[in-house]
């Protein structure tokens, strides 16, 4: 429930308590609220009705929730019933007992005995008064007799004597027939005699019956109603009045006096007066109470009923509050459990109490937090594992060596990108297949299987137990159509891979065709050097012998023979010279002197070389495009000159091969500075590109263009590009040849990575 409602209930409860207290205290017969009793009653009733409405609304809401099966309403219902029962039942019992008590006890206050006693008391008082009155009457009769006998004029003295004799006598007076005062005597001085004059009714009675005697006064003193307008009248003392006619004997002179009356007023005996007053007020009080008893009972019952209603409604209202208070943490927990079951581990709002319920919610939150922590830890670990796996995979994928994982039956499980690159097979097509059944890999697979079985045989024989892997060089034929004729040479290593549920194999292989090729060039160089040495030695004697023959036989032979001789000799000399040159070439290739590196302006070198080509047949064919401000490179001018000569010559040869070329022959010589990223920042390299628009390289040449004795030309040793490659390698550069994509010629790209250190620039300028 809302906080505001809670405060409202607290304040309302306080107000109700005050109202009830006032109502209860107003039930006794005093106090300010006496006057506003009906208001108080109405207010209490209104509060009761308001509470009834509140309770009804609450009950209805609860019922609706219960009907709709809202979560927690069942618990609320039980708690409310419990608390309401606890509150209502004792109240009901007390109410019933009280009502019984009130009804019977009030009735029991009034009984016939008391009433009779009071009646008797009143009668007794009346009898006392009557006795006193009789006494006073006899006194009056005696006085009247005396007054009648005594001569006229002695009345004041007689009255005074009479008053003096009776101490209680207030006054004695003689009045005429109209009530006019004739003579009077007073017991105490002061007082207004005129108010004590007899009324006409008294006189009439005295006239007709000779005597009027009655008790009077003692009236209004018994108004005990608080809050009623006060009655300012002084209570008149209880007194006795006797009015008696004075007998009127005939006067000696024959005249009759006008009728005269003696009035005596005497205070009732003090004891009698006070007792009478007491009994009188008790008598009327008893009557009032007797009449009021029904009202009183009603009052009590109404008060009790209101109290009960307020208590009941208060109990039910409080039951709602308490039940809500108790149920709230439980509902919170239940909701929390449900949320946890659904996977929501966010913290629940905590019930801020120090009791067990508060502790419970706190521990619940601790539990969910720990769960959440554990879950996030698992998540983290998983992510870390995934990262590690991804890292491993990327390492594998970017490895130049091919890695394959095979299962126990040599089926391919996984392989990395390099496998596809080296074997020229899409990995997807191979996965799950035994290697021997993959198209084009039968030999490779057979070799691997053989190697593994050999290793396991060795292991079984007990030898080389410590060697867990084998290494073998396997050659497999290129896939048809790949354009390369050499076999693919793979250096393959295999090892057993203990995997779950059986054994597996790990195969790592590397394409070492290039290495083989390099070894081949070295071997060729050695062979060439020896051959050149062996061949060159006999060449000079051959040439000298031929020239000597010509010289000796000149003039000894006829014209015809002479011509034959000359022709033969010339042929020998020419062929020997050609052979010599070829041998020199071999020697040069094999024995290239080490490059003498120094700062060199590449552009200047190229211009110098191109100068030689201008004016010849190739004038207008070569188009240099030299980048200005090219950094100096470290290079051997002689060797680089040879490189450029070779390349230009190759290009020119390519042009001439293609006589019927559609386009005009053209050779581009381009230099430029290249910036590239390296381990220690951006570095600069110089690139020299020589392109032609000739026919380009044949595919089978292209792969092995830098190997010696590979040539497309009819004449030529096939050493040109091999030389170039060798020189560039010594300069620490890279050389690359490529055909243009549109088959319009080829380019040779040379990248010189070693640049002159700026310090050296001024000291050595290129030749």
Partner 1 sequence: MLACALPQTASAADGVDIRRAYIEAADEGYRLAAVYDFELNHGLTDAVQHGVPLYFTVQIEFTRPRWYWFDEKAITAHRTVHLSFDPLTRKYHVGIIGSVQQDFDSLDDALFLIRRPSRWVVAPRGALKVGEAYNVSLRMLLDPDYLPKPIQVNAFNNSEWRLASDKKSFTYKAE
Q: Footprint of partner 1 on this chain (CB under 8 A)?
A: 26, 29, 34-35, 37-38, 122, 125-126, 129, 214-220, 222-223, 225, 227-229, 231-233, 238, 276, 279-281, 283-284, 286-289, 291-296, 298-299, 302
CB 226 within 8 A of CB 30: yes
Residue 32, token pair as written in the block = 């300010």
* Closest CB 243 distance from partner 1, rounded Å: 14
* Closest CB 44 distance from partner 1, rounded Å: 13
CB 551 within 8 A of CB 493: no
* Closest CB 218 distance from partner 1, rounded Å: 6
* Closest CB 185 distance from partner 1, rounded Å: 25
- Residue number with CB closer to partner 1 (104 or 533): 104
* Closest CB 108 distance from partner 1, rounded Å: 16
**What burial letters (b/e) apply to 641-675, b meaning 16+ CB within 10 Å?**
bbbbebbbebbbbbbeebeebeeebbbbbbbeeee
Contacting residues for 708 by C-beta, under 8 A, at least 6 apart: 521, 524, 525, 528, 589, 717, 718, 719, 722
- Residue number with CB closer to partner 1 (299 or 413): 299
DSSP code, position 110: -
* Closest CB 355 distance from partner 1, rounded Å: 48
Half-sphere exposure of 316 (CA within 13 A, CB side): 19
- Residue number with CB closer to partner 1 (283 or 470): 283
Q: Specify the 3-state DSSP secondary structure of 355.
A: coil
- Residue number with CB closer to partner 1 (291 or 350): 291
What span, in angstroms and rounded, lies between the C-alpha atoms of 492 and 505?
13
* Closest CB 294 distance from partner 1, rounded Å: 5
Q: Specify the 3-state DSSP secondary structure of 479.
A: coil
* Closest CB 18 distance from partner 1, rounded Å: 20
Longest Cα pair distance anywhere in the chain, in angstroms? 254
* Closest CB 307 distance from partner 1, rounded Å: 16
- Residue number with CB closer to partner 1 (300 or 410): 300
- Residue number with CB closer to partner 1 (137 or 362): 137
Of 224, 223, 204, nearest to 212 by C-alpha is: 204
* Closest CB 208 distance from partner 1, rounded Å: 15
- Residue number with CB closer to partner 1 (206 or 654): 206
What span, in angstroms and rounded, lies between the C-alpha atoms of 281 and 688?
145
Give strand ranges (E) for 394-516.
402-406, 412-415, 469-476, 488-499, 502-511
* Closest CB 240 distance from partner 1, rounded Å: 9
* Closest CB 217 distance from partner 1, rounded Å: 7
- Residue number with CB closer to partner 1 (125 or 745): 125
- Residue number with CB closer to partner 1 (31 or 695): 31
| Beta-ladder partners of 199 | none
Phi and psi at residue 498, to the nearest 5°: -70, 110
CA pseudo-torsion sign 17, 18, 23, 27: positive
Q: What distances in angstroms separate CA 406 from CA 367, 412, 430, 474, 510, one per listed residue?
A: 47, 5, 11, 18, 17
Phi and psi at residue 577, to the nearest 5°: -60, -45
Looking up tokens 């000291």, which residue turns up? 763
* Closest CB 247 distance from partner 1, rounded Å: 26
- Residue number with CB closer to partner 1 (125 or 665): 125
What span, in angstroms and rounded, lies between the C-alpha atoms of 169 and 81?
79
- Residue number with CB closer to partner 1 (264 or 735): 264
- Residue number with CB closer to partner 1 (297 or 520): 297
What span, in angstroms and rounded, lies between the C-alpha atoms of 407 and 409?
5
> Which contiguous run of DSSP H or E holds residue 135?
helix 112-149
What span, in angstroms and rounded, lies between the C-alpha atoms of 143 and 149?
10
- Residue number with CB closer to partner 1 (238 or 737): 238
N- to C-terminal Cα separation, the chain: 102
Looking up tokens 């007899």, which residue turns up? 198
Phi and psi at residue 505, to the nearest 5°: -130, 145
């Amino acid at each position: 429930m809302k906080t505001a409602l809670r405060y409202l209930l607290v304040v309302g409860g306080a107000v109700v308590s005050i109202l009830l207290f006032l109502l209860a205290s107003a039930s006794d017969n005093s106090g300010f609220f006496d006057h506003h009793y009906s208001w108080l009653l109405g207010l209490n009733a209104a509060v009761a009705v308001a509470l009834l409405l509140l309770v009804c609304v609450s009950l209805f809401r609860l019922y609706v929730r219960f009907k709709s099966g809202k979560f927690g309403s069942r618990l609320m219902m039980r708690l409310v019933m419990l608390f309401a029962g606890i509150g209502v039942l004792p109240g009901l019992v007390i109410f019933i007992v009280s009502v019984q008590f009130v009804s019977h006890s009030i009735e029991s206050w009034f009984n016939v005995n008391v009433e009779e006693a009071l009646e008797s008391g009143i009668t007794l008082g009346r009898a006392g008064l009557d006795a006193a009155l009789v006494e006073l009457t006899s006194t009056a009769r005696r006085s009247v007799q005396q007054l009648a006998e005594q001569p006229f004029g002695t009345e004041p003295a007689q009255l005074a004597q009479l008053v003096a004799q009776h101490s209680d006598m207030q006054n004695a007076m003689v009045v005429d027939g109209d009530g006019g005062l004739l003579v009077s005597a007073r017991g105490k001085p002061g007082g207004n005699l005129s108010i004590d004059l007899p009324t006409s009714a008294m006189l009439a009675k005295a006239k007709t019956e000779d005597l009027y005697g009655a008790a009077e006064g003692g009236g209004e003193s018994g108004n005990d109603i608080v809050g009623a307008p006060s009655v300012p009248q002084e209570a008149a003392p209880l007194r006795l009045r006797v009015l008696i006619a004075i007998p009127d004997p005939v006067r000696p002179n024959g005249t009759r006096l006008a009728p005269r009356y003696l009035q005596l007023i005497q205070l009732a005996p003090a004891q009698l007066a006070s007792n009478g007053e007491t009994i009188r007020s008790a008598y009327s009080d008893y009557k009032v109470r007797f009449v009021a008893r029904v009202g009183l009972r009603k009052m009590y019952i109404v008060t009790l009923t209101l109290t009960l209603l307020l208590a009941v409604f208060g109990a039910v209202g409080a039951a709602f509050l308490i039940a809500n208070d108790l149920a709230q943490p439980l509902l919170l927990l239940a909701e929390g459990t449900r949320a946890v079951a659904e996977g929501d581990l966010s913290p629940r709002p905590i019930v801020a109490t120090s009791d067990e319920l508060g502790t419970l919610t706190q521990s619940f939150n601790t539990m969910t937090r720990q769960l959440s922590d554990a879950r996030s830890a698992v998540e983290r670990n998983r992510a870390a594992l995934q990262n590690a796996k991804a890292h491993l995979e990327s390492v594998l994928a970017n490895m130049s060596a091919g890695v394959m994982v095979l299962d126990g039956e040599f089926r391919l499980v996984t392989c990395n990108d390099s496998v596809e690159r080296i074997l020229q097979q899409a990995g997807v097509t191979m996965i799950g297949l035994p290697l021997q059944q993959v198209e084009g890999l039968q030999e490779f697979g057979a070799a691997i299987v053989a190697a593994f079985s050999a290793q396991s045989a060795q292991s079984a024989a007990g030898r080389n137990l410590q060697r867990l892997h084998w290494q073998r060089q396997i050659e497999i034929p290129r896939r048809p159509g790949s354009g390369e004729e050499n076999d693919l040479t793979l250096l393959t290593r295999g090892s057993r891979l203990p995997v779950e549920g059986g054994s597996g194999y790990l195969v790592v292989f590397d394409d070492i065709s290039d290495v083989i090729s390099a070894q081949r060039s070295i071997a060729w160089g050695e062979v060439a050097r020896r051959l050149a040495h062996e061949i060159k030695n006999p060449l000079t004697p051959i040439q000298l012998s031929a020239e000597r023959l010509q010289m000796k036989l000149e003039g000894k032979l006829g014209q015809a023979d002479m011509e034959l001789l000359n022709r033969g000799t010339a042929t020998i000399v020419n062929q020997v010279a050609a052979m010599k040159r070829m041998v020199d070439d071999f020697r040069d290739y094999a024995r290239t002197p080490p490059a003498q590196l120094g700062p060199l302006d590449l552009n200047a070198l190229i211009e110098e070389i191109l100068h030689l080509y201008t004016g010849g047949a190739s004038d207008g064919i070569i188009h240099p495009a030299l980048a200005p401000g090219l950094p100096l490179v470290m290079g051997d001018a002689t060797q680089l000159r040879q490189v450029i000569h070779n390349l230009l010559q190759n290009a020119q040869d390519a042009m001439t091969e293609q006589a019927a070329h559609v386009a005009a022959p053209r050779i581009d010589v381009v230099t430029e500075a290249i910036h590239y990223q390296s381990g220690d920042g951006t570095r600069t390299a110089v690139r020299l590109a020589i392109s032609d628009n000739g026919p380009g390289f044949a595919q089978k040449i292209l792969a092995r263009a830098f190997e010696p004795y590979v040539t497309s030309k009819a004449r030529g040793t096939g050493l040109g590009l091999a030389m170039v490659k060798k020189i560039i390698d010594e300069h620490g550069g890279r050389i690359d040849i490529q055909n243009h994509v549109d088959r319009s010629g080829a380019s040779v790209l040379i990248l010189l990575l070693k640049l002159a250190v700026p310090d050296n620039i001024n000291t050595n300028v290129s030749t």
